[in-house]
Amino acid sequence: MRIIPAIDIIDGKCVRLSKGDYNTKIIYNENPLEVAKSFEAHGIEYLHLVDLDGAKSSQIVNYKILEQIATQTKLKIDFGGGLKSDSDLKIAFESGANQITGGSIAVKNRKLFEKWIAEYGSDKIILGADANNEKVAVSGWLEDSNEDLIPFIQDYQSKGIQYVICTDIAKDGMLEGPSFDLYAKILAQASGIKLIASGGISTFDELPKLAELGCEGTIIGKAIYEGRISLKQLEKYIIM
């Protein structure tokens, strides 16, 4: 299972939120590049970079940080937050993203998101399916949609989507453990999907359980920043 640490950006700084609430912002580091380099130094190959300013606004905002990390590390970066147009996508890929994650756009402008899948290929486009009580949430989780989570994933699977990042918002940043039951349900009903678990990871012991369920990757955020899971532990897990 791939280990994918997260860096969330507000005002150019590395932050974490709880349950996607911008009022719970904690700044962990003023320098995201420094954080990315420390991940790379511990054998980590992947990074989940989220432009939280972009998620709230109508366009990509923190692409310069993406460019910095992409040019000064070898990390394979998936980038999300505020990708709402062809030009946003172009900027993200030109700034060094390996993959992009589309969440709100996949709900609000299906036609455009499907065009991206067809144009860039399903290895480049990740579906961000973030859920509140199994309903898809959008706009930096500031709104719920009427989309049921699993049919939403299945529908995009039929359009060629391979990778899905699923965050259970109730778990995000709470350090109470991930939604094992929800992930088991998705993997049973959307057969063959490459599911990346996100939200709530709090201890190292949860990682083998997610791998056992069949998750292709897991995104770890606050547990690293709060010292619940050390980079040394992750380094050993990667080598295993």
Q: Point out the catalytic residue in the list 88, 130, 168, 172.
A: 130
**Active site includes 130?**
yes
Distance of alpha carbon 236 from the chain centroid? 23
**Active site includes 51?**
no
d(CA 72, CA 132): 36
d(CA 185, CA 205): 21
Q: Point out the catalytic residue in the list 8, 78, 88, 168.
A: 8
Active-site residues: which are they?
8, 130
